[in-house]
């Protein structure tokens, strides 16, 4: 898919105030600092569309971006960031939970996982929760530039075997790097295929 336009629409902390249009929507979620905002910039080819930072906790709101005037990308705050205060964390968790439970336009959540790490309970639990609530998701492994090819293969195989403890099938997954622009076409084509199917059915 070619990205012809990518515009910031709005930020807020209340799912009820998100854009009313019924355009298909894709959200990026995962631990703080995993690379959600960077991935949005990489996919859209706009360096500063979503705000990024080396310090975790940068994205604090639900941010809608309108792509090619016909679908939305959503940047969300990270979960599991210890340095935000407990009350801030609770507020985040509340509106993220509300977003996933009530956003009818949400077609697919992309759960971002840092490819360098062992499977983390918080991510596995979050995917479990999405599954229990019938929210479709795919996995995006990030920061692939940080590992050599054989380590990538090994980490993916380890991740798959852990997923198979709870899932019958491995969800769709993508291997990406925002700094080296890896996985861009794969993710965009996946979105394009879903959008195309929706408009024909």
Q: Which of 64, 72, 103, 143 binds ligand GTP (CB under 6 A)?
A: 143
Provide DSSP, 83-103. TS-HHHHHHHHHHHHHHHHH-
Q: Which is nearer to ligand GTP, 167 or 186 (CB)?
A: 186
Tokens 């309970």, residue?
A: 121
Minimum distance from CB of 97 to ligand GTP (Å)?
A: 16
* Cα dihedral 80→18→47→93 (10° resolution): 0
Q: Is 37 in the site for Mg ion (CB under 5 A)?
A: yes
**185 vs 44, 55, 58, 77, CA distance in Å?**
11, 28, 26, 25
Q: Does 59 bind Mg ion (CB under 5 A)?
A: yes
Q: Does 53 bind ligand GTP (CB under 6 A)?
A: yes
Q: Which residues contact 94 (CB under 8 A, 6 or more apart)?
A: none
Part in contact with Mg ion (CB under 5 A); list of ranges 4-12, 23-31, 36-44, 193-201 = 36-44
Report, in Å, the least distance between residue 128 CB and Mg ion: 23
The C-alpha angle 36, 37, 43, rounded to 5 degrees, equals 90
* Region of residue 114 (left: phi > 0; alpha: psi -120 to 50; beta: else): beta
Q: Tell me the C-alpha distance between 34 and 14, whole Å.
A: 23
- Residue 63 interacts with Mg ion (CB under 5 A)? no
- Residue 181 is a binding residue for ligand GTP (CB under 6 A): no
The only residue of 21, 133, 161, 179 in contact with ligand GTP, by rule CB under 6 A: 179
Q: Kindly tell me which of 37 and 176 has the beta carbon lying closer to Mg ion.
A: 37
As measured in angstroms, the least distance from the Cβ of 151 to Mg ion is 25
Q: Determine whether 39 is exposed, middle or buried from the number of CB atoms within 10 Å of its CB (0-12, 13-18, 19+).
A: buried
Mark the segment that binds Mg ion (CB under 5 A) among 12-20, 56-64, 102-110, 187-195. Answer: 56-64
Measured from the CB atom, is 44 or 52 closer to ligand GTP? 52
Question: Using an 8 Å Cβ cutoff, are 17 and 62 in contact?
Answer: no
- Asked if 52 is part of the footprint of ligand GTP (rule: CB under 6 A), the reply reads yes
Chain positions contacting ligand GTP, by CB under 6 A: 32-38, 52-54, 56-59, 77-78, 142-143, 145-146, 177-179
């Amino acid at each position: 898919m070619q990205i012809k336009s990518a515009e910031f629409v709005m930020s807020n902390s209340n799912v009820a105030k998100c854009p009313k249009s019924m355009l298909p929507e894709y959200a990026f979620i995962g631990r703080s600092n995993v690379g959600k905002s960077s991935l949005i910039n990489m996919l859209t080819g706009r360096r500063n569309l979503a705000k990024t930072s080396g310090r975790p906790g940068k994205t604090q709101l639900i941010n809608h971006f309108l792509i090619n005037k016909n679908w939305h990308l959503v940047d969300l705050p990270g979960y599991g960031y210890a340095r935000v205060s407990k009350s801030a964390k609770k507020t985040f968790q509340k509106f993220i939970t509300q977003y996933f439970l009530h956003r009818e336009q949400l077609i697919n959540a992309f759960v971002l996982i840092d490819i360098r790490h062992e499977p983390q309970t918080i991510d596995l639990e979050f995917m479990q929760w999405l599954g229990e609530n019938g929210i479709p998701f795919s996995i995006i492994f990030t920061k692939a530039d940080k590992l050599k090819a054989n380590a990538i293969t090994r980490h993916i195989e380890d991740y798959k075997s852990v997923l198979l403890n709870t899932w019958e099938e491995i969800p769709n997954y993508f291997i990406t790097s925002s700094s080296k622009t890896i996985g861009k076409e794969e993710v965009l084509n996946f979105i394009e295929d879903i959008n195309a199917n929706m408009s024909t059915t």
